Amino acid sequence: MRTEKKIAIIIAVILVVFGVGMATVSMVSVAGDFKKVIKNNANYVEKTYDVTEDFDFIDFSISSDDIRFEKSSDNNTHFTCKEAEDIKYVVKVDGKTLKIKQEENNRLYLNFGINNEDTTAVLYLPKDSYEKLSGKTGSGDINLNESFSFSEISLEVGSGDISLSDVKCKFILYAKTSSGDIETKNVTSEGSFSATTGSGNVKLENSNGANVAIKTGSGNVKLKAFDGTSIGITTGSGDVEGTLRSAKQFDAKASSGDVNVTGYGDGGTCTVRTGSGDITLSVLE
Task: Please state the rounded mean pLDDT for residues 251-265.
Answer: 97
User: What are the residues facing 194 on neighbouring strands?
Assistant: 174, 213
Q: Taking every pair of C-alpha atoms in the chain, what is the biggest distance, in angstroms? A: 88
**For the segment 11-37, what is each residue's pLDDT rounded down to a tens digit?**
555 554 455 444 443 443 333 333 333
- pTM score, whole prediction: 0.83
- The mean pLDDT of 267-285, rounded to a whole number, is 96
pLDDT category at 105 given cuts 50, 70, 90 is confident
Confidence class for position 47, pLDDT limits 50, 70, 90: very high
163-203 pLDDT, tens digit per residue, is: 999 999 999 999 999 999 999 999 999 999 999 999 999 99
Phi, psi values for residue 109, rounded to 5°: -65, -35
| Distance, CA of 149 to CA of 208 (rounded, Å) | 14
pLDDT given at position 42 = 67
Q: Are strands 279-283 and 208-216 parallel, antiparallel or unpaired?
A: unpaired
222 and 201 Cβ atoms separated by less than 8 Å: yes
Q: Average model confidence (pLDDT) for the chain?
A: 87
Category of 113 on φ-ψ map: left (φ > 0), alpha (ψ -120 to 50) or beta: left
Give the residue-averaged pLDDT of 140-165. Answer: 97
Mean pLDDT of 68-79: 96
